[in-house]
Structure 1
Amino acid sequence: MERRLFERLTAHFPVKFRDTSLDYGLDVFLKDISASGLRISTRERLFLNDYVTLDVKLPDGQDPVPLSGRVCWVREAGPRLYEVGLQFQKVNLVRMHRITKYAMAFSGN
């Protein structure tokens, strides 16, 4: 049984890598999130200990939520498809509240 310090919420939102031309959801989707990190599905190959910043697009019409973290695991999920775990370096509670509010509303968590 997996034990986590923070509850993990299912959260299917389009994401894009900050400072790239990739469009939301074309190559990256947020899968789940907790106060300590998140899991994304992407066609972009990332490597352990890479630092990335993502913009999460929520259905509230406001600016995307930027999240930064370190890649702590990568596994292949299919041909040219990867699941990636990111560990947050710092947590902004206001940003986390926006995401968890919509994650709970849309997924029934």
Structure 2
Amino acid sequence: MNPRFKSNEMPQEDNDSKKTAKPKEQRMFSRFRVNFPARFRNLNVGRRGEGICADIGAGGVGIKTNQEIEPRTPLEVWIDIADGFDPINLKGRVVWSKRTSSENCRTGVVFDCPRLIAFSRVLKMLRK
């Protein structure tokens, strides 16, 4: 039996397996669930927005917001982790964005350059 399938599921034909297979995880760094206020600015048009940083890792963030943002859009992101210092400021690009309801979206952002020092601040907050 193929371990990718539950005992009551049958594998699909090769043509369909690509449609039903879960995409391979491409993250280099683990993500941690958080709930930090976030702001962002679309670097193409200057439009600003805000939301909640729902997960974060050294390589990117997941943001809950009310705006759907096109993939490949460059963003500047500020995350307020409430550790007594300025918000973490990073630049990156949108990898995916999807509506989760009529008023809410989830957006995945990969950082242009992983910032391990900034991420260490997040880890310190998570240990508290």
Alignment of 1:1-109 (within 5 A): 3=25, 4-18=27-41, 27-102=50-125, 104-105=126-127
**What count of residue pairs does the alignment treat as equivalent?**
101
Structure-2 change in CA distance of 1:52 and 1:21 (3 Å): closer
Distance of 1:20 and 1:61 partners within structure 2: 27
Deviation at residue 105 of structure 1 after TM alignment: 2.7
Bigger strand fraction: 1
Taking every aligned residue pair, what percent have the same amino acid on both sides? Answer: 27
Q: TM-score, normalised by structure 1?
A: 0.79
Amino acid at match of 1:29: I
Q: State the superposition RMSD in angstroms.
A: 2.2
Structure-2 change in CA distance of 1:20 and 1:57 (3 Å): farther
Deviation at residue 9 of structure 1 after TM alignment: 0.7
- Between structure 1 and structure 2, the one with the greater Rg is 2
Runs ≥4 residues deviating over 4 A: 1-4, 18-22
- Structure 1: runs of 5+ lacking an equivalent: none
Higher RCO by CA contacts (8 Å cutoff, separation 6 or greater): 1
- Structure 2: runs of 5+ lacking an equivalent: 1-21
Distance of 2:28 and 2:77 partners within structure 1: 23
Cα deviation, 1:73-108, whole Å, max 9, x if unaligned, reads 111111121100001110222111112222x236xx
Alignment partner, residue 19 of structure 2: none
Structure-2 change in CA distance of 1:40 and 1:21 (3 Å): closer
Deviation at residue 21 of structure 1 after TM alignment: 6.8
Structure-2 change in CA distance of 1:55 and 1:20 (3 Å): farther
Q: TM-score, normalised by structure 2?
A: 0.68
